[in-house]
Amino acid sequence: MRTWVAPGRVNIIGEHTDYNEGYVLPIALPLVVRCTAAARTDGRVCVGSRQRPGEPVVVAVSELAAQRTRVPGWSRYPLGVVAEFARRGLRIPGVDLDLDGEVPIGAGLSSSAALSCAVAVALRDLFAPSLTDRAVIDVARAAENDYVGAPTGLLDQSAAILCTAGHALLLDVRGFAADTTAPRGVAHEQIPFDLDSAGLELLVIDTGQPHELVDGRYAERRDQCAAAAAALGVASLRDVASAADADRIADDVLRRRARHVVTENARVLAVAEKLRGGVDPRGIGPILTAGHASLRDDFEVSTLALDAAVDAALAAGAHGARMVGGGFGGSAIALVDQERTEAVAESVRRRFADMNVPDPRTFVVVPSAGAHRIG
């Protein structure tokens, strides 16, 4: 048996822009999901997880589609990847999958994409070695969309596969989706993101309030964005040039949803330009904070705990802070001077104590490598 890993991700900037064919700027986390895999010859998939003690889930490859609603929810992610391989005519004679990892579940750090991508690269190396990274991303995304029922965009899977150590990934989602070969430097670009040399750290604040992409609110935001685009007569909010154009929408909710997407795309490009130009990364802090205000006020996906985490981090000296992920729970990030990291974390803990909610989990992350085999 051999082992493959895929990382979680945190978005430096660019939330809810991926399914609007816009721009995103994630980094891969040092936290990974591990998939230890070996081929079988009996036509069955056997999936076990260290985080889900008990008997493994065993399903015949030929029965994966029929069993989709009958298997435990957590197992639909790995089983969905196998099902998608089979649906595409890539023969899986059977496989054992043993899963483990440390990406927090429900923290907005893409634990589900890390799981799907770890399985996808394992299956690729075992059974379909000619499959490109681009195809692996499509397989993992389709598994989440179709087998699990989570309406994700391309962001999470692309970050898990394409990110490199020491860099943020600037992804043009429209260009990437349109070009199935997606050569490097055309639809995606590695942007240097070296915080250590600037005396900075990126602090993740996990509020402990899990979010679920399949609970309906994420899908509602997607539908609202589509309706906003239709109101403006464009195929996607990517085509809206400015916030002033978004403000032409009569419906208040749709107007605010569109305004977030348009201004968030501009923020992604602004952050990428600053980092590409080698400026002090502290300069991106106000842009991150502006992104949080937009997610809170225009897109309405923040929570009291996320707002408290951001406010407390800024009050303790963070250069910028924002919620990350789909929202309705999960995590925030703060850009902090190395000597202030613990003070910022303590400020957040005190704020949570004042709110009488459990302590958040805080940890520092660095831009790390995408999915790969480790043994």
- So which residues are the catalytic ones? 156
Nearest-angstrom CA–CA distance, 319 and 316: 9
Please check whether residue 94 is in contact with residue 39, taking contact to mean a CB–CB distance below 8 angstroms.
yes
54 by DSSP, 3-state: which?
strand
Cβ-proximal residues to 363 (8 Å cutoff; 6+ apart), any chain: 203, 204, 206
Q: What ranges make up the beta strands (E) of the chain?
A: 2-13, 23-39, 44-49, 52-60, 95-101, 167-172, 188-192, 200-206, 320-324, 331-337, 361-365, 372-373
CA distances from 269 to 98, 177, 196 (A): 39, 18, 23
Return the residue matching tokens 């999901």.
Answer: 33
Return the residue matching tokens 């899990």.
Answer: 210
Task: Provide the token pair at 144.
Answer: 């989440």
Task: Provide the token pair at 325.
Answer: 């992920």
- Amino acid residing at 61: V
Nearest-angstrom CA–CA distance, 226 and 237: 8
Nearest-angstrom CA–CA distance, 78 and 59: 12
Helix H, strand E, coil C: the string for 184-248 is ECCCEEEEECCCHHHCEEEEEEECCCCCCCCCCHHHHHHHHHHHHHHHHCCCCHHHCCCHHHHCC
Task: Provide the token pair at 371.
Answer: 């999915």
Return the residue matching tokens 């989990």.
Answer: 361
What's phi and psi for 103, nearest 5 deg? -70, 120
Return the residue matching tokens 């990892």.
Answer: 101
Nearest-angstrom CA–CA distance, 103 and 19: 23
Return the residue matching tokens 């419906």.
Answer: 251
